[in-house]
Structure 1
Amino acid sequence: MRRLAGGLLVAAATLALPAVLDDSALAVYILLGLAAMVTVGVSLLMGYAGQVSLGQGAFYAIGAYTAALLALGGVPPLAGLIAAPLVAAASALVIGTPLLRLRGHHLAFATLAMQLILLSVAGQMEFTGGDIGLQAIPQFGIGSWEMSSAAAYAYLTWAGVALVMLVTYNVSTSRPGRALRALATSETAAASSGIPVGRYKLAVFALSAAFAGLAGSIYCFYTGYVAPGSFPVLISIQYIVMAVVGGLGTIWGAVVGATAITLLVQGLNIVGALPGMPTYAPSVLSYAVYALVLILVVLFLPQGLLPALTRRLPSRVRARS
């Protein structure tokens, strides 16, 4: 009952916020939701399957470019929204078949190289707009109705977050989810138990890519513009930090981590824009704070913010009683 009440409270707050936030705050709210969508996939990939990926930004870009190209080609935006996660998942299947033979930091560097190659190719291709990118992307809509307000995109974004969380919950509580946890503990032991290790690793890699592709498609419709510069390497590192800070292997932890890091970055941007600060201050502060937050969390909250809070609250209740 407590979980149900907490879920209903969070859902009510999520639906109420777009009606009271101004446009600048709504932009942060939408970007927070998009980051949470990708971070849930990262938490599933790293926390449940034990696979480290520094290339989730690549699938975010694939989803954005897919939806943008289809919309600019006259395809209904709804079809582009549906096609984006499918194309991202298919790309993950193709890319992951050779890459997932690697483990640990080798896999992390390989996925990072994948994103760098993708961005380089997108910057050279004519149909992707090169370094300039794609502009004047149509607004998302169904039939004759189009989204014309940031509040509408906020509802669409958080509906996507709810869908991603629901899918992740069903996967994590199913038999394949238990197999993924065994795989993260020991691939050798999982294989000896009859678990198809390669197939499950590829499936969860594709599922996390689909989540990123869905977020990318919403991003392209919201901004109306995509370019290689929209998906820097830092964005993939940001998703890792969000997942670790919130708590790897937890669904709500990904949302908590995305919220904490997004608000922190926005605060740093405000500080970096103060009079007298150099133009490179926001980016330098972001890199420094990512490193500092990650070190502090690993040292003092190794399981993340959410698991630490859920452990301490019951102990305080017992102490009071």
Structure 2
Amino acid sequence: MIRLVAGLLIAAVTLALPSVLDESALPVYILLGLAAMVTVGVSLLMGYAGQVSLGQGAFYAIGAYTAALLALNGVPPLAGLIAAPVVAALSALVIGTPLLRLRGHHLAFATLAMQLILLSLAGQLEFTGGDIGLQAIPQFSVGSWEAEGATTYAYLTWAGVALVMLVTHNVITSRPGRALRALATSETAAASSGIPVGRYKLTVFALSAAFAGLAGGIYCFYTGYVAPGSFPVLMSIQYIVMAVVGGLGTTWGAVIGASAITLLLQGLNTLSSLPGMPTYAPSVFSYAVYALVLIVVVLFLPQGLLPAVTDRLVRRRREPSVRTR
């Protein structure tokens, strides 16, 4: 009952915010939602499949370029948005088949190299617009209706977040979800129980890529422009930090982590733009924050923010019952 009330309250606040926030805050709200969408997939990938991917920004870019190219070539934007996660997932299946044989830092570096190769190709190929990128991407539309203003994209973004969270919840609570939990506990034990470990890892890898592709598709329609510079390597590191801070293997933890890091970075960007700050201040602040936040979380909140808060609330509930005995 408490979870239902909390969920309804969060949904009401989420729906109310776009109409309350001003024009300067709405872009942050949209980018926060897009980050949350990708981070849910990263949390699922790291928390259940035990795979560290530093290339989620590549699938974000694949989704954005897919939707942009289709829209610029006369395909309805809705079809382009649907194609974005599909193409990203298919790309993950092709790329993941050889890469997921690697483990640990080998896999992390391989996915990082994948993103660097993709961005290099996007900067040289003619149909992707090269380093200049793709411009004048049509607004998102469905039939005769066309999205106008940041408020509409805020609702579209958070509808995508709700979809991603619903899919993730259904996956976790289903029969394959139980197999994933066994996989997260011990790959050896899962394999000895007859669970196809490689297949499940590849499936989760593709699903997390689809989430990133969906976010990329919405991003391209919102900005109307995509280029290799829109998807830096730091973006992939950012998603890892968000997932770890919120709590790996938790859906709401990913949203909390994305919210905390996005708002923190927004505050630092405001600070770095003050008079007297050097031009390199934003990038220095970003890297410093990622390092410090990771150190603090690993040392004091190893399970992440959400599990830490949940465990503390559970202990508080149990204390009175223990005292009365």
Does the alignment pair 1:147 with 2:147?
A: yes
Q: 2: distance between equivalents of 1:3 and 1:49? A: 26
Does the alignment pair 1:85 with 2:85?
A: yes
Does the alignment pair 1:269 with 2:274?
A: no
Q: Which residue of 1 aligns with 2:242?
A: 242
- Correspondence list, 1:132-143, <5 A: 132-143=132-143
TM-score by length of 1: 0.98
1:171 is displaced (CA, Å) by 0.5
Q: 1: distance between equivalents of 2:316 and 2:47? A: 27
Does structure 2 conserve the Cα–Cα contact (< 8 Å) formed by 1:59 and 1:209? Answer: yes
Q: Which amino acid aligns with 1:302?
A: P
Q: Which amino acid aligns with 1:163?
A: L
- Correspondence list, 1:25-36, <5 A: 25-36=25-36
Q: 1: distance between equivalents of 2:64 and 2:272? A: 28
1:320 is displaced (CA, Å) by 6.5
1:288-314 deviations in Å (ceiling 9; x for gaps): 010000010000000000011111123
Q: Which residue of 1 aligns with 2:96?
A: 96
Q: Which amino acid aligns with 2:178?
A: R
- Correspondence list, 1:50-65, <5 A: 50-65=50-65
1:110-136 deviations in Å (ceiling 9; x for gaps): 000000000000000010010110000
The unaligned stretches of length 5 or more in structure 1 are none
1:219-249 deviations in Å (ceiling 9; x for gaps): 0000000000000000000000000000000
1:30-58 deviations in Å (ceiling 9; x for gaps): 00000000000000000011111010000
Does structure 2 conserve the Cα–Cα contact (< 8 Å) formed by 1:50 and 1:185? Answer: no
1:187 is displaced (CA, Å) by 1.9
Q: Which amino acid aligns with 1:229?
A: G
Q: 1: distance between equivalents of 2:178 and 2:299? A: 28
Task: Report how many residues are paired.
Answer: 321
Q: 2: distance between equivalents of 1:151 and 1:291? A: 33
Does the alignment pair 1:172 with 2:189?
A: no
Give the SS at the match of 2:25: helix
Q: Which residue of 1 aligns with 2:186?
A: 186
Q: 2: distance between equivalents of 1:160 and 1:138? A: 19
1:163-201 deviations in Å (ceiling 9; x for gaps): 000000010111111211222232222111100111111
Q: 1: distance between equivalents of 2:158 and 2:182? A: 31
Q: Which residue of 2 aligns with 1:212?
A: 212
Q: Which residue of 1 aligns with 2:196?
A: 196
Q: Which amino acid aligns with 1:11?
A: A
Q: Which amino acid aligns with 1:151?
A: T
Does structure 2 conserve the Cα–Cα contact (< 8 Å) formed by 1:138 and 1:224? Answer: yes
Q: 1: distance between equivalents of 2:319 and 2:179? A: 37
Q: Which residue of 2 aligns with 1:70?
A: 70
Give the SS at the match of 1:201: helix
Q: 2: distance between equivalents of 1:227 and 1:148? A: 23
Q: Which amino acid aligns with 1:73?
A: N
Q: 2: distance between equivalents of 1:60 and 1:12? A: 28
1:256-308 deviations in Å (ceiling 9; x for gaps): 00000000000010011010000110111000010000010000000000011
Q: Between the two proteins, what is the percent identity of the paired residues? A: 87
Q: Which residue of 2 aligns with 1:21?
A: 21
Q: Which amino acid aligns with 1:165?
A: M
Q: Which amino acid aligns with 1:170?
A: N
Does the alignment pair 1:126 with 2:126?
A: yes
1:319 is displaced (CA, Å) by 4.7
Q: 2: distance between equivalents of 1:41 and 1:284? A: 27
1:7 is displaced (CA, Å) by 0.1
